[in-house]
Amino acid sequence: MNKPLVFEQGSQFQYSQLGYELLAQILEAVTNKSFEEISKALFEEYDLNNSFHPESKEYKNLVKGYTEGENGDLEYSINSLYNYTAAGSFISNTEDLIQWNYLLHSNQLLKKETVELMKTRYATRNHPIFETIEYGYGLLFKKGENNIEIGALGYAPGFVSASYYYPKSQLSLVVLENTARHLEDFNKTFRIHLELMKAVKKSIHSQ
């Protein structure tokens, strides 16, 4: 459909899960492999044994996710893995995500120059929690804090997560929760994650 652009190319930035899906399709076209195959090979190469593409069906003992209903009760979310996989439907655990942060920020997954691009402001994003936030290639940070606290929050139906890295102390904070409450106010949904992030930053500054 030939709809007009929402804004002139290069004049604004909006987060898009579809953008990550397009990148996954580009990888498939270049490698002649499915994104599932590419993901599996990467995880195996770096011994991330608890990380899976949702279509792999090799994972076991997967916890269920629950979302707060209108009456306040928690309801099983059947569509937790329906997001675009490259944008946030991978299955993993705390151990693997901590190892992922270490591999990424020690330049073992990518060249140092590429990691620096991920940590360099590409655009300013209007974030539902942090309001104005700097956005690199997939990583978020407050202005001037790309070498202090860098990472992302994540949400899928029934699951609320945070994965942040603190370069100065080489510390990772990973919080995985399988209940999603107060979706009308993400500050409440991510309350535990945000409080832990504040505590880690305070601890680092006091050292």
CB atoms within 10 A of CB 25: 12
> Would you state the pLDDT for residue 35?
96
Quick one: pLDDT at residue 1? 60
Residue 90: the pLDDT is 94
Q: What is the pLDDT of residue 3?
A: 83
Going from N- to C-terminal start, the domains of the chain cover: 62-205
Phi, psi of 124 (to 5 degrees): -100, 130
Three-class DSSP labels, 120-161: CCCEEEEECCCEEEEECCCCEECCCCCCCCEEEEEEECCEEE
* Longest CA–CA separation in the chain, Å: 56
The CA distance from 29 to 26, in Å, is: 5
pLDDT at 79: 87
Query: Sign of the C-alpha dihedral, residues 193, 199, 202, 207?
Result: negative
Nearby residues of 117 by Cβ (< 8 Å), 6 or more positions away: 136, 137
Q: What is the pLDDT of residue 149?
A: 95
The strand pairing partners of 151, in sequence order, are 140, 164
> Could you read off the pLDDT tens digit of each residue along the chain, which spans 207 residues?
678 888 888 788 888 889 999 999 999 999 999 999 999 999 999 999 999 999 888 888 889 999 999 899 999 998 888 889 999 899 999 999 999 999 999 999 999 999 999 999 988 888 889 988 999 988 999 998 989 999 999 999 999 999 999 998 999 999 999 999 999 999 999 999 999 999 999 988 776
DSSP 8-state class, residue 15: -
Q: Which residue has the tokens 């569509």?
A: 79
Which own/partner pairs from 139-148 qualify as long-range (CB within 8 Å, at least 24 positions apart)? 146/119, 146/120, 146/121, 147/119, 148/201, 148/204
Residue 64 and residue 106: Cα distance in Å, rounded? 33
CATH class of 62-205: alpha beta
- 3-class DSSP assignment, residue 59: coil
